[in-house]
Structure 1
Amino acid sequence: MLEKARQLLHSYFGYETFRPGQEKILTHVLQGQDVMGIMPTGGGKSICYQLPSLMNDGITIVISPLISLMKDQVDELQENGIRATYINSTLSHEETNARIQRLYAGEYRLLYVAPERLLSSTFQQVIQYTKVDVIAVDEAHCLSQWGHDFRPSYLDIPTFIHRFEERPVVLALTATATPEVAEDVCELLSIPSERLIKTGFARENLIFSVHKGQDTDRFIVDYIKQNKEESGIIYTSTRKEAERIQNMLKKKFISAGIYHGGMSSEERARHQEDFVYDEVSVIVATNAFGMGINKSNVRYIIHAQMPRTMEAYYQEAGRAGRDGEMSECILLFSSQDIQVQQFLLEQTQYSEERKKAEFQKLRSMVNYCHTEQCLERYILDYFGDEQASDCGRCLHCKDDRQVVDVTRDGQMVLSCVRRMRERYGKTIVAQVLTGSANQKIRDFKLDRITTYGIMKGKKQKDVVAFIDFLIAHRYLSSGDGQFPVVALTDLSGAVLRGEEKILKKETVLTERAVSNDDPLFQQLRQIRTQLAKEHEVAPYMVFSDQTLREMSSQKPETKQQMLQVKGVGEHKYDVYGEAFLHVLRAEANGGSNEQTPVL
């Protein structure tokens, strides 16, 4: 059966071999066994249910959390020659009935639905008379209350599955799950723990960086101008900030879309479509856009504000480079971001236990912004994915900044925390160190301790940032809650005794742009844009950037050679292949325009 799956993989998707994890997951699914897969964004999770849908007699139901994403996914499948559809609230009653009739007639292999539809009596009646072979639960972390994006509607899935007289194969998929969340999902879906397949969270084509002390607006404008041919997403934590940045870009004559929960569904759909179809290259969005984009050629993600959790950050950053091309994930950090996230968290209706867990996640996110170790390694450690070596790509790995001995400043901070009896938060500690005349300091009589004012020449916000650095590197610990208490650690004693040094890299503002200066690649992109408009599909649905780069590198001149390019399957070749071959043959003949087609 796997051999047949490989043939279909090449015929429909243009790939010769499976990616890590796909073969193991497919083996279980094809043998009729439930399985959970944790694979990074862009790791090919969808192949794990798309290929079985081509091999089974019945249908595969894909439960997806965002209806805004379904149309993109179905359009892309149809471009690959796979019969797929979706049923959701965007369809009229007549459209829904028409699709149901075609479903009864066996015209579809894949059906996408939102979890809210599962317990609808009408939908259950439809499914009762339809053979269902596989139920694929996309973004499965939404099942767990310990996940970063828990959705109560996902708890309807186990009930829906149990209604089947003959249980379909259950396939749970996600890109972001800690060990605790993965265990929770497996238990809820009755998937044996030995059938949890992890391929690792590493994305070898992503370059991570954190920039502190930047003028956010200037950085964003300069970066977009340097990468004006590329698609990118700018994430913010609030609607207000998303609107401010979009208006700022407009004043700089940069056209950018916007997407947040306060807009009408029609407005959101229009801006998303403009971005997906390359009408605008940049979109400013809140986390409402986190899972709502299937666009493969997003070349950069800029977080203008720090997200609250590592899960949210990695999922949003993972929207970059889904086609495998090198892409950047930039986080612009400001200490004010912490207050914003603390405020937003306090406004939630979470239980005290859940809030405590969320504050712990926020601390991990702050530590990420202040660590000086490999950024990818920090992310992998967070998800319980052991990594033997640093990535060699991120800002810190490629950083040539000078290392500065900050032991003396560290001893001042640690000594102050000890004299304050480890009873206060970092803001109060910083105020004492800088000699603040704050009335609260006087009321607590903290202006009388020996460490009061010993860092008077420094700005309070810089001292707070330094304390965050010490916490990130475990010279200090921080409790939970909105106002966590700072305490000493085992490392603190070694530093205070002079047995351990604290080294920190000097602060330097750095920027880096993604380069795409291959003329043939740019020419192929223009052809792709023209073909996409002709066929009324998004450009990335024609061929991905990675596929165009391989064409540019290999320069195939025949159909057989073209079919050896990753991402070029039989169906795609029949629809688009000849147009690209004309351009590539012209290049081989010295760039003659006579053979270039007029599209």
Structure 2
Amino acid sequence: MTDISIPTDFENLSPEKPVAGRRAPEDILSQVFGYEGFRPLQEDIVRTVIGGDNALVLMPTGGGKSLCYQIPALARPGTAIVVSPLIALMQDQVAALRQQGVKAAYLNSTMDIQQAWATENELMTGELDLLYCAPERLLQPRTLELLHRVSIALFAIDEAHCVSQWGHDFRSDYLGLELLAREFAGVPRIALTATADERTRQEIAQRLSLVDARHFISGFDRPNIQYRITPKTNANKQLLDFIKEEHEGDSGVVYCLSRNKVEATARMLSQHGYNALPYHAGLPPEERAHNQERFLREDGVIVVATIAFGMGIDKPDVRFVAHLDLPKSLEAYYQETGRAGRDGNPSTAWMVYGLQDVIKLRQMLEGSQGNEQFKRVERQKMDAMLGLCEVISCRRQVLLRYFGDSLDSPCGNCDTCLTPPETWDGTVAVQKALSCVYRTGQRFGVTYLIDVLRGSENDRIAQAGHDRISTYGIGSELSASEWKSVFRQLVANGYLRADPEGYGALQLTPECRPLLRGEDVVLLRKDPVKKTSSRTRGRSPAREHITDQKGWEALRSCRKRLAEQQGVPPYVIFHDATLMEILERRPSSMVELSEVSGVGKAKLEKYGEVFLEELASL
């Protein structure tokens, strides 16, 4: 929305005086949000900010980051200003806070002038506990002028990795937030993110003047997420089998690299009876907003998207995140998979990965317009991503180590722990593959090279004279799929590279010399043979332990009816975890219901009788 002048009736307004006797953080946690105790680090962060000090917080998605500034906002005098990068995110968070009896609002471009004036009036008269706005809105001269005239409790900068040019979601508007340290020197600032390696953390601290602030780094582990990466054979069939066997009826996100693939995959899923919607930057804004709204408000919707979708999505019951293409970095992978299981219930991060993914990403990187320093950093990030794909030990340990975290023993909840991969001595096979690349002139792609190695009789090989070279037919002991695995691992580990001109030819790198000379022994990973999942077919792992399916569906229907009446997503009423606890405990009074985690005072008053009646009718 364009900048507008301040209405004349604001001129004589002054901010409300600080309110004495604010509640203790423990009381706010219990009475407003319905939780009995803080999670690790939350209490220290909350008390730091309430005390007026700055903080930089790294906490995994679903770890309770929002409470780290929402509770201080209610404990300190004045209005907390929350910087949020996405309109949908701020709208959902405001809706959730209002359900809990918190006076929250937002300022964004979806509002007309009258709506904006009304919100600004609430700010000026001290009626708001929290005000959400985008960085570009906050930095407008008009907004800064308003903020200088009110009592501000704190500034919270959400998704703080957006300030880093080394981050995966860089937003140039975030760079202007450095002025908060100068213009509002006495106001505490808290910056929060779920994803940042050491380089990104340093840049966040420097750009937001938080080098001397207290840094709180929580563990990056999401133990409820099961990480699985499998070789790509037929991606569509693999995706369908995965959903049918493990996540029938669940909400999920499927990531693809291109817009065309997003739309094709959404159509494919729809044709097989799934409620699947596309999302990418090329769709009309109205269609994107509509599809995102349906995903947030309806059960069982699958969004097929590019990386344009997801930052800040607050839906707690996403049961799976699937990747049909390889992410560019572990930061992107962690951020995207982190959208699963925000409620703490079992969820799956599933990916198919093949040689063409590696070739495509390496070609995109080498063909980019970035300088050599940029390309060097991006290569390191890509190598780390490929290392996770090819690792034969615990995937979670590799992922956490990248972010400076650690896990003492294997997690037991990733595919390499559940089904340890076999390895084999691939030294001879590797030498054959590399020799074949060399003797065919480093001008051919993997399919042609495999045909030569396996001695295929076709005109193309004969015309090129490659049926007479020494590597013709020397690899008949391996199947075509086994050779694809060999070439994939050679490219992933940097022994071969894709032609940077984009023609798909494989070329030798200097790193392959010791292998050609036989100086190194090469252990390769055997691609696993698909096995039927041990989970109940079609039953979400988050709901496997629910024995009363009729009661579960009745409570969900009750929640959905209330949500539709108020125009909010169902999880804003109660999270799945809260519904499960209600079903398990079967409270028969308001007092008993108040003891359920996630049932605060405001929600108890609004919905208590309705849910007690529903339980009594079961």
Deviation at 1:240, TM superposition (A): 0.8
1:265 is the counterpart of 2:285: yes
Cα pair distance change 1:112/1:23, threshold 3 Å: same
Q: Distance in 2 between matches of 1:145 and 1:452?
A: 48
Give the equivalent residue in structure 1 for 2:604: 573
Task: Describe how 1:580-591 pairs up with structure 2 within 5 A.
Answer: 580-584=611-615, 586=616
Cα pair distance change 1:534/1:432, threshold 3 Å: closer
- Report the 3-state secondary structure (helix = DSSP H, G, I; strand = E; otherwise coil) of the residue aligned with 1:70: helix
Question: Structure 1 residues 296-305 or 188-197, which shifts more?
Answer: 188-197
Task: Describe how 1:490-509 pairs up with structure 2 within 5 A.
Answer: 504=526, 506-508=528-530
Per-residue displacement from partner, 1:308-344 (whole Å, max 9, x unpaired)?
1111111111111111111111112232223443455
1:179 is the counterpart of 2:198: yes
**One-letter amino acid matched to 1:273:** E
Deviation at 1:175, TM superposition (A): 0.5
- Report the 3-state secondary structure (helix = DSSP H, G, I; strand = E; otherwise coil) of the residue aligned with 1:111: strand
Q: Distance in 2 between matches of 1:383 and 1:200?
A: 9
The counterpart of 1:6, out of the listed 18, 26, 29, is 26
Give the equivalent residue in structure 2 for 1:410: 427
- Report the 3-state secondary structure (helix = DSSP H, G, I; strand = E; otherwise coil) of the residue aligned with 1:396: helix
Per-residue displacement from partner, 1:222-278 (whole Å, max 9, x unpaired)?
444453332111111111111111112222232222211111221111111111111
Asked if 2 retains the 8 angstrom alpha-carbon contact of 1:257 and 1:280, the reply is: no
1:169 is the counterpart of 2:188: yes
RMSD: 3.6
Q: Distance in 1 between matches of 2:128 and 2:442?
A: 59
Q: Distance in 2 between matches of 1:2 and 1:568?
A: 22
Asked if 2 retains the 8 angstrom alpha-carbon contact of 1:556 and 1:581, the reply is: yes
1:76 is the counterpart of 2:107: no
Deviation at 1:220, TM superposition (A): 2.8
1:552 is the counterpart of 2:598: no
Unaligned segments of structure 1, at least 5 residues: 587-592
The counterpart of 1:319, out of the listed 330, 339, 344, is 339
Cα pair distance change 1:307/1:502, threshold 3 Å: closer
Cα pair distance change 1:124/1:417, threshold 3 Å: same
Asked if 1 retains the 8 angstrom alpha-carbon contact of 2:392 and 2:420, the reply is: no
Give the equivalent residue in structure 2 for 1:114: 134
Figure out how many residues of one structure are paired with residues of the other and give that number. 580
Task: Describe how 1:56-71 pairs up with structure 2 within 5 A.
Answer: 56-71=76-91
Give the equivalent residue in structure 1 for 2:224: 205
Asked if 2 retains the 8 angstrom alpha-carbon contact of 1:413 and 1:433, the reply is: no
Question: Structure 1 residues 557-566 or 513-522, which shifts more?
Answer: 513-522
**One-letter amino acid matched to 2:576:** D
Give the equivalent residue in structure 1 for 2:153: 133
Give the equivalent residue in structure 1 for 2:552: 521
- Report the 3-state secondary structure (helix = DSSP H, G, I; strand = E; otherwise coil) of the residue aligned with 1:13: coil
Cα pair distance change 1:142/1:490, threshold 3 Å: farther
1:220 is the counterpart of 2:239: yes
Asked if 1 retains the 8 angstrom alpha-carbon contact of 2:427 and 2:515, the reply is: no
1:435 is the counterpart of 2:466: no
Task: Describe how 1:48-59 pairs up with structure 2 within 5 A.
Answer: 48-59=68-79
Asked if 2 retains the 8 angstrom alpha-carbon contact of 1:367 and 1:469, the reply is: no
- Report the 3-state secondary structure (helix = DSSP H, G, I; strand = E; otherwise coil) of the residue aligned with 1:100: helix
Deviation at 1:292, TM superposition (A): 4.5
Q: Distance in 1 between matches of 2:499 and 2:87?
A: 35
The counterpart of 2:403, out of the listed 378, 383, 394, is 383
Give the equivalent residue in structure 1 for 2:207: 188
Q: Distance in 2 between matches of 1:129 and 1:541?
A: 33
Give the equivalent residue in structure 1 for 2:256: 236
Cα pair distance change 1:538/1:491, threshold 3 Å: farther
**One-letter amino acid matched to 1:576:** Y
Q: Percent identity?
A: 35
Asked if 2 retains the 8 angstrom alpha-carbon contact of 1:417 and 1:486, the reply is: no
Cα pair distance change 1:257/1:579, threshold 3 Å: same
- Report the 3-state secondary structure (helix = DSSP H, G, I; strand = E; otherwise coil) of the residue aligned with 2:316: coil
1:531 is the counterpart of 2:543: no
Q: Distance in 2 between matches of 1:149 and 1:434?
A: 42
**One-letter amino acid matched to 1:147:** G
Deviation at 1:573, TM superposition (A): 1.0
Per-residue displacement from partner, 1:377-418 (whole Å, max 9, x unpaired)?
2211221212211111112211166x35x21x3333157659
Deviation at 1:218, TM superposition (A): 2.2
Asked if 1 retains the 8 angstrom alpha-carbon contact of 2:167 and 2:200, the reply is: yes
Deviation at 1:504, TM superposition (A): 3.8
Asked if 1 retains the 8 angstrom alpha-carbon contact of 2:280 and 2:305, the reply is: yes
Deviation at 1:284, TM superposition (A): 1.4
- Report the 3-state secondary structure (helix = DSSP H, G, I; strand = E; otherwise coil) of the residue aligned with 2:304: strand
Cα pair distance change 1:84/1:253, threshold 3 Å: same
- Report the 3-state secondary structure (helix = DSSP H, G, I; strand = E; otherwise coil) of the residue aligned with 1:271: helix
Deviation at 1:304, TM superposition (A): 2.0
Q: Distance in 2 between matches of 1:200 and 1:53?
A: 25
Deviation at 1:23, TM superposition (A): 1.6
Asked if 1 retains the 8 angstrom alpha-carbon contact of 2:390 and 2:525, the reply is: no
Asked if 1 retains the 8 angstrom alpha-carbon contact of 2:437 and 2:507, the reply is: no
The counterpart of 1:102, out of the listed 93, 99, 122, is 122
Asked if 2 retains the 8 angstrom alpha-carbon contact of 1:418 and 1:488, the reply is: no
Unaligned segments of structure 2, at least 5 residues: 1-20, 501-505
The counterpart of 2:144, out of the listed 109, 124, 133, is 124
**One-letter amino acid matched to 2:103:** R
- Report the 3-state secondary structure (helix = DSSP H, G, I; strand = E; otherwise coil) of the residue aligned with 1:171: strand
Q: Distance in 2 between matches of 1:159 and 1:440?
A: 64
Q: Distance in 2 between matches of 1:387 and 1:425?
A: 42
The counterpart of 2:179, out of the listed 130, 155, 159, is 159
TM-score, normalised to structure 2, is 0.84
Q: Distance in 1 between matches of 2:444 and 2:107?
A: 52
Per-residue displacement from partner, 1:453-499 (whole Å, max 9, x unpaired)?
53255466743532443676x7x66789958854559996998576x
1:371 is the counterpart of 2:402: no
Asked if 2 retains the 8 angstrom alpha-carbon contact of 1:141 and 1:177, the reply is: yes
- Report the 3-state secondary structure (helix = DSSP H, G, I; strand = E; otherwise coil) of the residue aligned with 1:26: helix
**One-letter amino acid matched to 1:410:** T
Q: Distance in 2 between matches of 1:311 and 1:149?
A: 10
Q: Distance in 2 between matches of 1:537 and 1:378?
A: 39
**One-letter amino acid matched to 1:17:** G
Cα pair distance change 1:480/1:149, threshold 3 Å: farther
Cα pair distance change 1:336/1:37, threshold 3 Å: same
Deviation at 1:559, TM superposition (A): 2.0
Task: Describe how 1:237-386 pairs up with structure 2 within 5 A.
Answer: 237-278=257-298, 281-342=301-362, 344-345=364-365, 349-386=369-406
**One-letter amino acid matched to 1:561:** E
Asked if 1 retains the 8 angstrom alpha-carbon contact of 2:195 and 2:331, the reply is: yes
- Report the 3-state secondary structure (helix = DSSP H, G, I; strand = E; otherwise coil) of the residue aligned with 2:416: coil
- Report the 3-state secondary structure (helix = DSSP H, G, I; strand = E; otherwise coil) of the residue aligned with 2:139: coil
Q: Distance in 1 between matches of 2:417 and 2:22?
A: 40
Give the equivalent residue in structure 1 for 2:60: 40
Per-residue displacement from partner, 1:98-126 (whole Å, max 9, x unpaired)?
11111101111111111112331111121
Give the equivalent residue in structure 1 for 2:5: none
**One-letter amino acid matched to 1:354:** F
**One-letter amino acid matched to 2:89:** L
Asked if 2 retains the 8 angstrom alpha-carbon contact of 1:370 and 1:468, the reply is: no
Deviation at 1:203, TM superposition (A): 0.5
Asked if 2 retains the 8 angstrom alpha-carbon contact of 1:259 and 1:271, the reply is: yes
Deviation at 1:35, TM superposition (A): 1.1
Q: Distance in 1 between matches of 2:273 and 2:294?
A: 17
- Report the 3-state secondary structure (helix = DSSP H, G, I; strand = E; otherwise coil) of the residue aligned with 2:278: strand
